[in-house]
Structure 1
Amino acid sequence: MRTVLICDDRRSVREGLTRVMSAVPGVQRIDCVATPEDLLARYARQPVDVVFIGTQRAVSAGAEATRRLVTAHHQANVIVFGAPDDAGSIASAIAGGARGYLRWDASRPELVAALASTTMGDVFPAQRQSAEPGAGVNLTEREMQVLRGMSQGKSNGQIGRELYLSEDTVKTHARRLFRKLSASDRAQAVAQGFRCGLVS
Protein backbone atom coordinates (compact mmCIF):
# COMPACT_ATOMS: atom_id res chain seq x y z
CA MET A 1 0.00 0.00 0.00
CA ARG A 2 1.30 3.44 -0.93
CA THR A 3 0.90 6.91 0.49
CA VAL A 4 0.74 9.98 -1.73
CA LEU A 5 1.14 13.72 -1.18
CA ILE A 6 -0.09 16.18 -3.83
CA CYS A 7 1.22 19.75 -3.98
CA ASP A 8 -0.45 22.32 -6.23
CA ASP A 9 -1.80 25.79 -5.52
CA ARG A 10 -4.96 25.15 -7.57
CA ARG A 11 -7.72 23.58 -5.54
CA SER A 12 -9.46 22.16 -8.61
CA VAL A 13 -6.25 20.40 -9.65
CA ARG A 14 -5.70 18.92 -6.19
CA GLU A 15 -9.28 17.68 -5.99
CA GLY A 16 -9.23 16.29 -9.53
CA LEU A 17 -5.98 14.39 -9.07
CA THR A 18 -7.17 13.09 -5.71
CA ARG A 19 -10.33 11.67 -7.31
CA VAL A 20 -8.32 9.90 -9.99
CA MET A 21 -5.62 8.72 -7.57
CA SER A 22 -8.17 7.32 -5.11
CA ALA A 23 -9.21 4.79 -7.77
CA VAL A 24 -5.64 3.54 -8.28
CA PRO A 25 -5.09 0.11 -6.70
CA GLY A 26 -2.62 0.08 -3.83
CA VAL A 27 -3.03 3.72 -2.80
CA GLN A 28 -3.76 3.82 0.91
CA ARG A 29 -3.72 7.54 1.74
CA ILE A 30 -3.75 10.77 -0.25
CA ASP A 31 -2.95 14.13 1.33
CA CYS A 32 -2.85 17.55 -0.34
CA VAL A 33 -1.02 20.82 0.29
CA ALA A 34 -1.12 24.10 -1.60
CA THR A 35 2.36 25.60 -1.13
CA PRO A 36 6.01 24.48 -1.09
CA GLU A 37 6.20 25.57 2.56
CA ASP A 38 3.27 23.33 3.48
CA LEU A 39 4.84 20.53 1.44
CA LEU A 40 8.14 20.70 3.31
CA ALA A 41 6.44 20.89 6.70
CA ARG A 42 4.05 18.01 5.96
CA TYR A 43 6.75 15.76 4.51
CA ALA A 44 9.06 16.41 7.48
CA ARG A 45 6.28 15.36 9.87
CA GLN A 46 5.00 12.44 7.84
CA PRO A 47 7.03 11.19 4.84
CA VAL A 48 5.09 9.55 2.01
CA ASP A 49 5.96 7.10 -0.75
CA VAL A 50 5.37 9.48 -3.67
CA VAL A 51 4.99 13.25 -3.98
CA PHE A 52 3.16 14.76 -6.96
CA ILE A 53 4.06 18.39 -7.62
CA GLY A 54 2.25 20.53 -10.18
CA THR A 55 3.99 22.87 -12.58
CA GLN A 56 2.60 25.89 -14.38
CA ARG A 57 3.87 27.58 -17.51
CA ALA A 58 6.37 30.38 -16.81
CA VAL A 59 6.13 29.67 -13.05
CA SER A 60 9.09 28.14 -11.24
CA ALA A 61 7.14 27.15 -8.11
CA GLY A 62 6.94 23.46 -9.03
CA ALA A 63 10.61 23.19 -9.92
CA GLU A 64 11.64 25.13 -6.81
CA ALA A 65 9.42 22.98 -4.58
CA THR A 66 11.01 19.87 -6.06
CA ARG A 67 14.54 21.15 -5.50
CA ARG A 68 13.85 22.18 -1.91
CA LEU A 69 12.16 18.90 -1.02
CA VAL A 70 14.82 16.65 -2.57
CA THR A 71 17.62 18.74 -1.04
CA ALA A 72 16.09 18.38 2.42
CA HIS A 73 14.97 14.77 1.97
CA HIS A 74 17.13 12.83 -0.49
CA GLN A 75 14.86 9.81 -0.31
CA ALA A 76 11.81 11.75 -1.56
CA ASN A 77 10.23 10.30 -4.70
CA VAL A 78 8.86 13.21 -6.74
CA ILE A 79 6.80 13.14 -9.91
CA VAL A 80 5.89 16.47 -11.48
CA PHE A 81 2.75 16.90 -13.52
CA GLY A 82 1.73 19.58 -15.98
CA ALA A 83 0.85 20.39 -19.57
CA PRO A 84 2.95 18.61 -22.21
CA ASP A 85 4.09 21.96 -23.64
CA ASP A 86 5.25 23.19 -20.21
CA ALA A 87 8.71 21.94 -21.11
CA GLY A 88 10.78 24.53 -19.26
CA SER A 89 9.18 24.02 -15.84
CA ILE A 90 9.10 20.26 -16.18
CA ALA A 91 12.73 20.06 -17.26
CA SER A 92 13.79 22.31 -14.37
CA ALA A 93 11.98 20.02 -11.95
CA ILE A 94 13.69 16.96 -13.48
CA ALA A 95 17.04 18.70 -13.08
CA GLY A 96 16.08 19.49 -9.47
CA GLY A 97 15.59 15.84 -8.58
CA ALA A 98 12.17 14.74 -9.82
CA ARG A 99 12.11 11.11 -10.99
CA GLY A 100 9.78 11.80 -13.88
CA TYR A 101 6.68 13.62 -15.04
CA LEU A 102 3.12 12.98 -16.04
CA ARG A 103 0.77 14.95 -18.22
CA TRP A 104 -1.99 16.56 -16.16
CA ASP A 105 -4.51 14.32 -17.96
CA ALA A 106 -2.60 11.07 -17.37
CA SER A 107 -4.67 7.91 -17.58
CA ARG A 108 -5.17 5.51 -14.70
CA PRO A 109 -2.71 2.94 -16.16
CA GLU A 110 -0.07 5.70 -16.45
CA LEU A 111 -0.61 6.65 -12.80
CA VAL A 112 -0.31 3.01 -11.74
CA ALA A 113 2.94 2.64 -13.71
CA ALA A 114 4.34 5.85 -12.24
CA LEU A 115 3.55 4.83 -8.67
CA ALA A 116 4.91 1.32 -9.12
CA SER A 117 8.21 2.23 -10.75
CA THR A 118 8.90 5.32 -8.65
CA THR A 119 8.49 3.55 -5.32
CA MET A 120 10.91 0.88 -6.52
CA GLY A 121 13.55 3.59 -6.83
CA ASP A 122 13.37 3.63 -10.61
CA VAL A 123 12.91 6.52 -12.99
CA PHE A 124 9.38 6.70 -14.33
CA PRO A 125 9.41 4.68 -17.59
CA ALA A 126 7.90 7.47 -19.69
CA GLN A 127 10.99 9.49 -18.84
CA ARG A 128 13.64 6.81 -18.51
CA GLN A 129 16.45 7.17 -20.99
CA SER A 130 20.18 6.53 -21.26
CA ALA A 131 21.98 6.90 -17.93
CA GLU A 132 25.20 8.20 -19.42
CA PRO A 133 25.26 11.91 -20.38
CA GLY A 134 24.89 12.16 -24.14
CA ALA A 135 25.22 8.40 -24.61
CA GLY A 136 23.85 7.31 -27.97
CA VAL A 137 22.48 10.78 -28.75
CA ASN A 138 23.79 12.46 -31.88
CA LEU A 139 21.86 15.64 -32.64
CA THR A 140 22.70 17.94 -35.53
CA GLU A 141 23.49 21.60 -34.81
CA ARG A 142 20.01 22.59 -36.01
CA GLU A 143 18.39 20.00 -33.76
CA MET A 144 20.45 21.29 -30.86
CA GLN A 145 19.31 24.84 -31.58
CA VAL A 146 15.68 23.73 -31.65
CA LEU A 147 16.11 21.78 -28.40
CA ARG A 148 17.70 24.81 -26.70
CA GLY A 149 14.81 26.95 -27.85
CA MET A 150 12.33 24.45 -26.43
CA SER A 151 14.19 24.39 -23.11
CA GLN A 152 13.70 28.16 -22.93
CA GLY A 153 9.95 27.76 -23.41
CA LYS A 154 9.89 29.20 -26.92
CA SER A 155 7.22 28.23 -29.45
CA ASN A 156 8.09 26.70 -32.82
CA GLY A 157 7.29 30.05 -34.43
CA GLN A 158 9.66 31.93 -32.11
CA ILE A 159 12.42 29.38 -32.68
CA GLY A 160 11.90 29.65 -36.44
CA ARG A 161 12.15 33.44 -36.43
CA GLU A 162 15.39 33.33 -34.45
CA LEU A 163 16.91 30.72 -36.76
CA TYR A 164 15.43 32.17 -39.98
CA LEU A 165 13.51 28.95 -40.57
CA SER A 166 9.87 28.31 -41.38
CA GLU A 167 7.72 26.87 -38.62
CA ASP A 168 7.27 23.70 -40.67
CA THR A 169 11.04 23.28 -40.89
CA VAL A 170 11.32 23.69 -37.11
CA LYS A 171 8.64 21.02 -36.68
CA THR A 172 10.63 18.68 -38.93
CA HIS A 173 13.77 19.17 -36.83
CA ALA A 174 11.65 18.68 -33.69
CA ARG A 175 10.27 15.37 -34.93
CA ARG A 176 13.80 14.15 -35.68
CA LEU A 177 15.16 15.09 -32.28
CA PHE A 178 12.10 13.52 -30.60
CA ARG A 179 12.94 10.27 -32.37
CA LYS A 180 16.61 10.43 -31.42
CA LEU A 181 15.75 11.17 -27.78
CA SER A 182 12.94 8.59 -27.66
CA ALA A 183 10.59 11.41 -26.65
CA SER A 184 6.93 11.79 -27.50
CA ASP A 185 6.62 15.54 -26.84
CA ARG A 186 8.53 18.72 -26.02
CA ALA A 187 8.58 18.14 -22.27
CA GLN A 188 10.10 14.68 -22.60
CA ALA A 189 12.65 15.94 -25.12
CA VAL A 190 13.77 18.79 -22.88
CA ALA A 191 13.86 16.59 -19.79
CA GLN A 192 16.04 14.10 -21.64
CA GLY A 193 18.20 16.95 -22.92
CA PHE A 194 18.84 17.99 -19.31
CA ARG A 195 19.71 14.43 -18.33
CA CYS A 196 22.13 14.00 -21.20
CA GLY A 197 23.78 17.36 -20.60
CA LEU A 198 22.66 18.64 -24.01
CA VAL A 199 20.95 21.67 -22.45
CA SER A 200 21.42 23.36 -19.11
Structure 2
Amino acid sequence: MIVGLATAAAQGQIAACADYMGVARSVATAADVPELLELHRRAPTDLVVVDLAFIGADPVMFTSTVRAQSPYTEVVLTGPISPFTASRAIASGTNALVCGLGTETDQLTASVARSIILTFPGAVRAAAAIPVQAMRPRPNRLTPREVQVLRAMSDGKSNAQIATELFLSIDTVKCHAKRLFRKLGVHDRAHAVAEAFRSRLIC
Protein backbone atom coordinates (compact mmCIF):
# COMPACT_ATOMS: atom_id res chain seq x y z
CA MET A 1 0.00 0.00 0.00
CA ILE A 2 1.27 3.48 -0.89
CA VAL A 3 -0.25 6.55 0.76
CA GLY A 4 0.20 10.00 -0.80
CA LEU A 5 0.50 12.67 1.90
CA ALA A 6 1.77 16.19 1.26
CA THR A 7 3.02 17.07 4.76
CA ALA A 8 5.66 15.44 6.95
CA ALA A 9 3.27 15.58 9.91
CA ALA A 10 0.60 13.61 8.05
CA GLN A 11 3.19 11.10 6.83
CA GLY A 12 4.38 10.59 10.39
CA GLN A 13 0.85 10.05 11.67
CA ILE A 14 0.05 7.46 9.02
CA ALA A 15 3.38 5.67 9.47
CA ALA A 16 2.76 5.49 13.22
CA CYS A 17 -0.81 4.33 12.67
CA ALA A 18 0.32 1.57 10.28
CA ASP A 19 2.98 0.48 12.76
CA TYR A 20 0.40 0.46 15.55
CA MET A 21 -1.85 -1.84 13.52
CA GLY A 22 1.00 -4.17 12.60
CA VAL A 23 1.12 -3.39 8.87
CA ALA A 24 4.10 -0.99 8.78
CA ARG A 25 6.03 -3.15 6.30
CA SER A 26 3.09 -3.05 3.92
CA VAL A 27 2.54 0.72 3.99
CA ALA A 28 4.81 3.29 2.30
CA THR A 29 4.26 7.05 2.16
CA ALA A 30 5.11 9.44 -0.66
CA ALA A 31 5.47 13.24 -0.46
CA ASP A 32 4.46 14.01 -4.05
CA VAL A 33 3.01 12.36 -7.15
CA PRO A 34 6.37 11.71 -8.94
CA GLU A 35 7.70 9.96 -5.82
CA LEU A 36 4.52 7.90 -5.50
CA LEU A 37 4.62 6.83 -9.14
CA GLU A 38 8.30 5.93 -8.85
CA LEU A 39 7.65 3.82 -5.74
CA HIS A 40 4.81 2.12 -7.55
CA ARG A 41 6.92 1.56 -10.69
CA ARG A 42 9.72 -0.10 -8.72
CA ALA A 43 7.37 -2.27 -6.66
CA PRO A 44 3.73 -2.26 -7.82
CA THR A 45 1.42 -2.34 -4.83
CA ASP A 46 -2.10 -3.66 -4.36
CA LEU A 47 -3.44 -0.34 -3.10
CA VAL A 48 -2.78 3.39 -3.55
CA VAL A 49 -4.53 5.90 -1.25
CA VAL A 50 -4.21 9.62 -1.97
CA ASP A 51 -5.90 12.86 -1.01
CA LEU A 52 -7.45 14.75 -3.92
CA ALA A 53 -5.48 17.86 -2.93
CA PHE A 54 -2.28 15.79 -3.07
CA ILE A 55 -2.88 14.82 -6.70
CA GLY A 56 -3.06 18.44 -7.85
CA ALA A 57 -4.58 17.38 -11.17
CA ASP A 58 -7.48 15.47 -12.69
CA PRO A 59 -8.08 12.30 -10.63
CA VAL A 60 -8.97 10.50 -13.85
CA MET A 61 -5.47 11.09 -15.20
CA PHE A 62 -3.86 10.02 -11.91
CA THR A 63 -5.90 6.82 -11.68
CA SER A 64 -5.19 5.98 -15.33
CA THR A 65 -1.44 6.45 -14.79
CA VAL A 66 -1.39 4.21 -11.72
CA ARG A 67 -3.50 1.53 -13.39
CA ALA A 68 -1.29 1.67 -16.50
CA GLN A 69 1.69 0.73 -14.32
CA SER A 70 -0.25 -2.11 -12.70
CA PRO A 71 -3.82 -2.90 -13.81
CA TYR A 72 -4.50 -4.83 -10.60
CA THR A 73 -3.75 -1.92 -8.26
CA GLU A 74 -6.77 -0.50 -6.45
CA VAL A 75 -6.99 3.29 -6.11
CA VAL A 76 -8.73 5.00 -3.18
CA LEU A 77 -9.20 8.78 -3.20
CA THR A 78 -9.91 10.81 -0.05
CA GLY A 79 -11.27 14.30 0.45
CA PRO A 80 -14.18 16.41 -0.83
CA ILE A 81 -15.21 15.73 -4.43
CA SER A 82 -18.08 16.86 -6.63
CA PRO A 83 -20.60 14.25 -7.84
CA PHE A 84 -19.49 14.86 -11.46
CA THR A 85 -15.79 14.37 -10.70
CA ALA A 86 -16.59 11.37 -8.50
CA SER A 87 -18.51 9.66 -11.30
CA ARG A 88 -15.65 10.30 -13.75
CA ALA A 89 -13.11 8.99 -11.24
CA ILE A 90 -15.08 5.79 -10.63
CA ALA A 91 -15.55 5.34 -14.39
CA SER A 92 -11.78 5.67 -14.90
CA GLY A 93 -11.03 2.87 -12.47
CA THR A 94 -10.99 4.47 -9.01
CA ASN A 95 -12.10 1.73 -6.64
CA ALA A 96 -13.37 3.80 -3.70
CA LEU A 97 -13.89 7.34 -2.43
CA VAL A 98 -13.47 8.22 1.26
CA CYS A 99 -15.07 11.65 1.25
CA GLY A 100 -14.46 13.99 4.15
CA LEU A 101 -15.95 17.46 4.56
CA GLY A 102 -12.65 19.31 4.38
CA THR A 103 -8.93 19.03 3.78
CA GLU A 104 -7.58 19.27 7.34
CA THR A 105 -4.76 16.90 8.27
CA ASP A 106 -6.90 15.27 10.97
CA GLN A 107 -9.65 14.51 8.48
CA LEU A 108 -7.20 13.04 5.97
CA THR A 109 -5.35 10.87 8.47
CA ALA A 110 -8.61 9.62 9.96
CA SER A 111 -9.83 8.70 6.48
CA VAL A 112 -6.58 6.93 5.61
CA ALA A 113 -6.53 5.10 8.95
CA ARG A 114 -10.02 3.88 8.19
CA SER A 115 -8.91 2.87 4.67
CA ILE A 116 -6.04 0.81 6.13
CA ILE A 117 -8.48 -1.04 8.36
CA LEU A 118 -11.02 -1.62 5.60
CA THR A 119 -8.50 -2.67 2.94
CA PHE A 120 -6.27 -4.86 5.10
CA PRO A 121 -8.60 -7.62 6.32
CA GLY A 122 -5.96 -8.86 8.75
CA ALA A 123 -4.91 -5.46 10.08
CA VAL A 124 -7.01 -5.63 13.22
CA ARG A 125 -5.95 -9.23 13.92
CA ALA A 126 -2.31 -8.32 13.23
CA ALA A 127 -2.42 -5.41 15.66
CA ALA A 128 -4.01 -7.57 18.32
CA ALA A 129 -1.25 -10.16 17.87
CA ILE A 130 1.62 -7.76 18.61
CA PRO A 131 3.00 -8.75 22.03
CA VAL A 132 3.24 -5.14 23.26
CA GLN A 133 -0.35 -4.50 22.30
CA ALA A 134 -1.52 -7.82 23.69
CA MET A 135 -0.21 -6.86 27.13
CA ARG A 136 -2.02 -3.52 27.16
CA PRO A 137 -4.98 -3.32 29.53
CA ARG A 138 -8.41 -3.10 27.97
CA PRO A 139 -9.39 0.56 27.42
CA ASN A 140 -11.46 2.13 30.19
CA ARG A 141 -15.13 2.22 29.35
CA LEU A 142 -16.03 5.26 27.26
CA THR A 143 -19.11 7.30 28.03
CA PRO A 144 -21.86 7.41 25.39
CA ARG A 145 -20.86 10.99 24.56
CA GLU A 146 -17.20 10.01 24.14
CA VAL A 147 -18.26 7.23 21.76
CA GLN A 148 -20.25 9.78 19.74
CA VAL A 149 -17.20 12.04 19.51
CA LEU A 150 -14.97 9.10 18.56
CA ARG A 151 -17.39 7.94 15.88
CA ALA A 152 -17.48 11.46 14.42
CA MET A 153 -13.66 11.51 14.41
CA SER A 154 -13.67 8.24 12.46
CA ASP A 155 -15.78 10.03 9.84
CA GLY A 156 -13.07 12.70 9.53
CA LYS A 157 -15.07 15.50 11.13
CA SER A 158 -13.32 18.48 12.72
CA ASN A 159 -13.92 19.60 16.31
CA ALA A 160 -16.11 22.43 15.02
CA GLN A 161 -18.22 20.04 12.95
CA ILE A 162 -18.57 17.63 15.88
CA ALA A 163 -19.60 20.50 18.15
CA THR A 164 -22.30 21.59 15.71
CA GLU A 165 -23.56 18.04 15.19
CA LEU A 166 -23.76 17.24 18.91
CA PHE A 167 -24.89 20.74 20.04
CA LEU A 168 -21.76 21.23 22.16
CA SER A 169 -19.13 23.92 22.44
CA ILE A 170 -15.77 23.31 20.77
CA ASP A 171 -14.08 23.38 24.19
CA THR A 172 -16.41 20.61 25.40
CA VAL A 173 -15.57 18.51 22.35
CA LYS A 174 -11.86 19.02 23.02
CA CYS A 175 -12.42 17.95 26.63
CA HIS A 176 -14.19 14.76 25.53
CA ALA A 177 -11.38 14.09 23.03
CA LYS A 178 -8.68 14.44 25.69
CA ARG A 179 -10.55 12.07 28.00
CA LEU A 180 -11.08 9.41 25.36
CA PHE A 181 -7.44 9.71 24.20
CA ARG A 182 -6.36 9.10 27.79
CA LYS A 183 -8.69 6.12 28.19
CA LEU A 184 -7.50 4.58 24.91
CA GLY A 185 -3.85 5.28 25.67
CA VAL A 186 -3.30 7.25 22.45
CA HIS A 187 -2.12 10.75 21.56
CA ASP A 188 -3.88 11.65 18.30
CA ARG A 189 -6.97 11.01 16.20
CA ALA A 190 -5.42 8.47 13.83
CA HIS A 191 -4.38 6.24 16.74
CA ALA A 192 -7.73 6.78 18.46
CA VAL A 193 -9.64 5.60 15.37
CA ALA A 194 -7.29 2.62 14.93
CA GLU A 195 -7.66 1.59 18.59
CA ALA A 196 -11.43 2.04 18.44
CA PHE A 197 -11.72 -0.36 15.51
CA ARG A 198 -9.18 -2.78 17.00
CA SER A 199 -11.07 -2.88 20.31
CA ARG A 200 -14.46 -3.03 18.55
CA LEU A 201 -15.55 0.19 20.25
CA ILE A 202 -16.93 1.36 16.91
CA CYS A 203 -17.50 -0.43 13.62
TM-score (normalizing by structure 1)? 0.49
- Structure 1 or 2: more helix by fraction: 2
Q: Kindly indicate which of the two structures has a greater share of residues assigned to strand.
A: 1
